[in-house]
Amino acid sequence: MIRQFRYFLAALVGAGFVVACAGAAAQAYPNRPVRLVVAFPAGGATDVLARAISLYASDKLGQQIVVDNKPGAGGVIGSDIVAKAEPDGYTLLLATGSTHSIGPVINPRLPYNVERDFTPIIDVARTTAVMVVPASLPVKNLADFIALAKASPGKLNFGSSGNGTVSHLAGELFKAQAGVYLTHIPYRGTGLVFNDMVSGQVHMLMDNFITAQPQIKAGRLRVLGVTSLERLPFMPEVPTLHEQGLKNFEVSNWFGIYAPHGTPVELIERVNAAYNLALRDPELRKRLSTLGAVPTGGTPQQMAAVVAADTRKWRRLITERKLVVD
């Protein structure tokens, strides 16, 4: 009996030691740079937002947040790295609607489970897409493009940042509502599409204004419409696709921070607080506005609700169009 009591007492002491060590680790966090994995190439919308926001969040966290691009497979490669990382708060992921709303529905062979292997931290920004075409394409508006596509079925195409990404699904939604057939050409990132667009090999792209902005300003791409239900304040002259006849056509993309499952709650709260503080900074908000992004913020629970709603929306389209990852 005495021996059993000694074992019990030793177990309690051991458990207390583990809890104390965990608490001490949480108190010390972060004592080295934090790695933020971006699952898309440098120069794309996800990368640009990651660097802009994390520059301010680094100051609030008290440690540098280093952006690490790991592109490929529509965001799967970078996401998988984080899913399998140590849950110590030092490896995070800037996820998007592509990786965590569409991916789990359109690709049943993902090497991870979004709900089981990740913990949401904070929804950081929202962007609206623009529909762009090469300046050399003989169309001036949405009606012209639809007419050209119907007059030459199968001859026009659209590019995307990869199979199962928001830009891919936006193109599929456009095809469904406009009643046209366009060939899908997936790339490893939106930024890689532009050379082929400028040369006229790719005929349409529907993606974030952030990455298309330089080409639009240079006159190499023409904007035919925006995918919000109301015109954008920084491009009031550009009509929405909704007002041009595609009723209730709306596509946006969310960007949020995830940690590997099992990351201590105390660390989740610290990262959440740092990004929330950063997103309130007037200079950052102004910077995001010039990029066509809206800062969001909030709790992990609010982010989970955003992801769930977005997943339901894309699930309907994927089911109706019988879309699968090649």
3-state secondary structure of 37: strand
pLDDT at position 17 is 45
pLDDT at position 85 is 98
Same domain, 83 and 169: no
Same domain, 118 and 132: no
Same domain, 20 and 117: yes
Same domain, 150 and 212: yes
Closest CA to 218 of 294, 299, 132: 132
Q: Using CA atoms, how far apart are residues 200 and 220, in angstroms rounded to an integer?
A: 10
Same domain, 133 and 89: no
192 is a domain residue? yes
1 is a domain residue? no
260 is a domain residue? yes
pLDDT at position 24 is 53
Range of the domain at 203: 128-226
pLDDT at position 236 is 93
pLDDT at position 266 is 97
Overall size of the chain counted in residues:
326
Domain count, the chain: 2
Same domain, 98 and 15: yes
Question: Which tokens sit at 19?
Answer: 């809890």
235 is a domain residue? no
109 is a domain residue? yes
Question: Are 307 and 104 within 8 A, CB to CB?
Answer: no
List the CATH number of the domain containing 29.
3.40.190.150
> Pairing relation of β-strands 34-38 and 118-134?
unpaired
What are the backbone angles phi and psi of residue 131, rounded to the nearest 5°?
A: -100, 120
Same domain, 43 and 192: no
Same domain, 123 and 23: yes
Q: Using CA atoms, how far apart are residues 322 and 326, in angstroms rounded to an integer?
A: 12
245 is a domain residue? no
List the CATH number of the domain containing 164.
3.40.190.10
Q: Using CA atoms, how far apart are residues 233 and 227, in angstroms rounded to an integer?
A: 13
243 is a domain residue? no
Same domain, 36 and 107: yes
In the chain (326 residues long), the average pLDDT of successive 10-residue segments reads 48 46 67 97 91 97 98 92 98 96 93 97 95 96 97 94 90 96 89 89 92 91 95 91 96 96 98 98 94 94 97 94 82
Same domain, 133 and 222: yes
Same domain, 278 and 204: no
The CA dihedral of 247, 183, 148, 145, to the nearest 10 degrees, is 40
For 152, which DSSP code?
A: S
pTM: 0.85
For 174, which DSSP code?
A: H
> Could you please report the per-residue DSSP string of 85-117?
S-SSSSEEEEEEHIIIIIHHHH-TT-SS-HHHH
110 is a domain residue? yes
Same domain, 121 and 138: no
Q: If you search the block for the tokens 């529909």, which residue do you land on? A: 131
